[in-house]
A and B are shown apart, each in its own frame.
Chain A
Amino acid sequence: MVETVTVEGFDAFVEKLESNKSSGKPIFVLFSGSKDANGKSWCPDCVVAEPVVKGALTKAPQDAVFLYVGVGGRDFWKDSKCVFRTDPRTKLKTVPTLMKVGGPQRLEEEQCAKADMVEMLFEDA
């Protein structure tokens, strides 16, 4: 069973990333616009992608770790100096982004809402 971890913000992401890296397990990360009090993300593509990505997790290796990361509010994310955009570990251009840590596998925006693409990424581990 894939272990799903939900974190909010860059520091929490890095902490979870580093603590899981040593385990040698495949790590997948979905970066999304953070959710409001009602549990709804400000980013419409993220809203569409989330159930598709989570639904495809069955295709990921059983020992994989899945990090669901909220990148913050809209204004924080839209800043071109946003740490998620600049940090070499993430280098995000867009949300949602689904990626495999340590590999070239990456899907962006509406690609994250296509089940066959998401499955391909999980199966490529």
Chain B
Amino acid sequence: MRSIVVVAVGGVTSRLTQHIIPRYCTTTTQYSRHIHTSRASVWASRSYFRRPTSIYGTVGVCGSNVKVVGSSLESSKGGSFVSMAPITTDNINPGEVVDKSIAQNKVMIFSKSSCPFCLKIKGLLKSLNVEYVALELDQIKNGAEIQNALLEKSGQRTVPNVYINGEHVGGADKTFSLHTQGELLPLINKSTHNYDYDMVVIGGGSGGLAASKETANLGMKVAVCDFVTPTPKGTTWGLGGTCVNVGCIPKKLMHQSAILGGELKDSREYGWDTPETVTHDWGRMVEAIQNHIGSLNWGYRVALREKKVDYLNAYATFTDPHTIKTVDRRGKEKIITSDKFLVATGGRPRYPDIPGAKEHTITSDDIFSLPYAPGKTLLVGASYISLECAGFLAGLGYDTTVMVRSILLRGFDQQIAEKIGAYMEQHGVKFIRGAVPTSIEKIEEGTPGKLRVTAKTTDGEEVVDEYNTVVVAIGRDPCTSGIGLENAGVDLAKNGKVVVEKGEQSSVPHIYAIGDVMEGGLELTPVAIQAGRLLARRLYRKDSLQTDYVNVPTTVFTPLEYGCCGLSEEAAIDKYGEDDIEVYHSSYQPLEFTVAHRPENDCYAKLVCVKSENEKVVGFHILGPNAGEITQGFSIGLKLGATKADFDNLIGIHPTTAEIFTTLNITKRSGKDVSAQGC
């Protein structure tokens, strides 16, 4: 007795089972199919299950002889077997069996169940999540005849004999060598549409680059359009998006430059004869940082070439749902069509609508490549971008002021936000609270020149001061206008971001959005990268893994770094109610601060726990040096659902600052003093 076996996963099992298992049965052919997604299963149920009548003729009624073949066919995702009734190949011309098998199956393997090379090929295809159909020639009556027909057709007698998209590939060696050369998936994924590309990514930032490279890895034809519209000051940059050019990378390096200044002061306490006055060269720092960024820009271009992703340094606009028009720097236009699109255009700084803003101020888009030292600087806004810039500018020795309308770091834990503000204030940053600028005038040309800033406080008082540089950092707007999304029919939210369903899919099913333009997402580089990669794998490798937007760790690189994961104290109270939240906290002093005579109580650690859930930790917060490094590690604990007891059971590494989390025993509710203790 021989049988057909279908392997499927997930929810389709019962439906298929109902229809198939009890109905057919017979003798000869053993087919096996490896299927992954529900979409694939639908396909299988349509074209494959019809086949018994159309190709192989009538099949008999089957009782207990439905056979499920070997474990090599089991789904790697814990899916279950669905057995399908056997089909006869008797009385059918072997040549016809071969031709139809090849014609009707994207990936067709003529195999023998005992052949180790056949097993290897199936293992490879399964590891790549590729659907295939295998005909086991040793398990059917007319296997020998079919093998002869194969020899005649392909010139190959041995098994495995692999056909992809109707074309003869060869045996195991040939298939494996195609795979090592990266040509197997392209052959399998060969497009079935007539567009220029399988995927066009608009925006060459972290998300767009990750998505395009992953998509190309999976054998698809991909293009990335990236074009930087110059700032009002004329600043522009290369491939890689905000993070690399005007965000995370230069920010962290300037933060490091400021940290070094602080450590130079410490060094005297540690025995170094560092001069009392050391000077900092802004231009040299900018040049070194920009050189590094330049090498990253080049590296991305090389990587795109290596992955065979077409890079278009051109501005893309949708003209219809499957077409974009691109315009390059020279004004050259091109029309490009694609099966799918990914909008990953990111965001740009917002300017306040006041006289002189666009003419005289700069933003984070300009500051990291500013060719002259900024001098006395005003930062407008209390976003993390504003506070980070204020932090490094003050650390580098510039007279720095931050103008804040209401609260610091909206959306972050407010207790910590205030601690950051207090620390910055003690370390040379001036704050003007409750004020917004109303006009900015240039009163002196130069690099830097001089600007007069008039502001109004909430009490209606006018505040006027002069600065060399004004940096506005009041928020960012998504780059979704002027790219023709209306021509494609993509729905936008009120804030201008692209509305998406689960799976980053926009209102137009073949158009996706990731990163800073995606409504409901998080404006963080690694989130966009993850979203881009996983999206590509879901679209072209039939993976099911979705990006998890919960418990994403992040860090604000203010002079004292602030790392957090999960909920702020306020958000936790909102969600669970004050009575159900227990907050464990402590101030601490890093060992390195002692010899350097730095403050004792500025660093702070806090765990926000849910009492009714076994004190599960839902918020992790640390304010202190290297907070990013600490938070990255601990965040896996939050993702795994760690409780306060788990933190207590963890043994510390001494002497570190992270070990504070293993000994937190004072609750906020107790009102006890949390001043730093000696060890």
Contacts and interface: CB of A to CB of B under 8 A. Distances in A.
Contact of B291 (A104, A106, A116, A117): A104
A116 B305 contact: yes
A44 interface: no
B142 interface: no
B305 A105 contact: no
B148 interface: no
Contacts of A117: 302, 305-306
A116 to B, nearest CB: 6
B297 A120 contact: no
B298 A104 contact: yes
The A contact surface, by secondary structure, is: mixed
Nearest to B304: A120
Interface in A74-124: 103-107, 111, 114, 116-117, 120, 124
B305 A103 contact: no
B302 A104 contact: no
B305 A120 contact: yes
Nearest to A110: B306
B302 A111 contact: yes
Contacts of A114: 305
Interface size class of B (residues with CB under 8 A): 10 to 19
A120 B294 contact: no
Contacts of A116: 305
A99 to B, nearest CB: 10
B295 interface: yes
A123 to B, nearest CB: 11
B294 A104 contact: yes
Contacts of A103: 294, 298
Contact of A105 (B291, B296, B298, B306): B298
Interface string B278-308: 0000000000000100111111011001100
A104 B301 contact: no
B22 to A, nearest CB: 58
The B contact surface, by secondary structure, is: helix
Contact of A107 (B295, B296, B302): B302
Contacts of B306: 111, 117
A63 B295 CA distance: 24
Contacts of B301: 120, 124
Contacts of A124: 298, 301
A107 B305 CA distance: 12
A54 B375 CA distance: 49
Contacts of A105: 298
A29 to B, nearest CB: 15
Contacts of B298: 103-106, 124
A111 B299 CA distance: 12
Interface in B305-323: 305-306
Interface in A6-40: none
A113 to B, nearest CB: 13
A111 B306 CA distance: 9
Contacts of A120: 301-302, 305
A124 B302 CA distance: 12
Interface string B388-404: 00000000000000000
Interface centre among B296, B297, B298, B306 (most CB of A within 10 A): B298
B329 to A, nearest CB: 13
A103 B298 CA distance: 9
A105 B294 CA distance: 8
B291 to A, nearest CB: 7
Contacts of A104: 291, 294-299
Nearest to B308: A116
Contacts of B297: 104
Interface in B220-279: none
A104 B297 CA distance: 8
A117 B302 CA distance: 7
A18 to B, nearest CB: 20
A89 to B, nearest CB: 14
A124 B305 CA distance: 14
B445 to A, nearest CB: 29
Contacts of B302: 107, 111, 117, 120
Contacts of B291: 104
B295 to A, nearest CB: 4
A114 B298 CA distance: 16
Nearest to A114: B305
A124 B301 CA distance: 11
A117 B305 CA distance: 7
A25 B301 CA distance: 24
A106 B296 CA distance: 11
Interface centre among A104, A105, A111, A117 (most CB of B within 10 A): A104
A91 to B, nearest CB: 12
Contacts of B295: 104, 106
A106 B294 CA distance: 11
B189 to A, nearest CB: 22
A36 B306 CA distance: 32
Nearest to A107: B302
A106 to B, nearest CB: 7
Interface centre among B294, B297, B299, B305 (most CB of A within 10 A): B305
B479 to A, nearest CB: 25
A68 B444 CA distance: 51
Interface in A33-75: none
Contacts of B299: 104
A106 B305 CA distance: 14
Nearest to B291: A104
A92 to B, nearest CB: 15
A49 to B, nearest CB: 15
B303 to A, nearest CB: 11
A97 to B, nearest CB: 13
Nearest to B305: A117
A103 to B, nearest CB: 7
Contacts of A111: 302, 306
10 contacts: A103-B294, A104-B298, A104-B299, A105-B298, A107-B302, A111-B302, A111-B306, A114-B305, A117-B302, A120-B305
Interface of A: 103-107, 111, 114, 116-117, 120, 124
Given A104-B294, A117-B306, A120-B301, 5 more contacts: A104-B296, A104-B299, A105-B298, A106-B298, A124-B298
| Nearest 6 CB-CB pairings of A with B | A104-B295, A104-B294, A104-B298, A105-B298, A117-B305, A116-B305
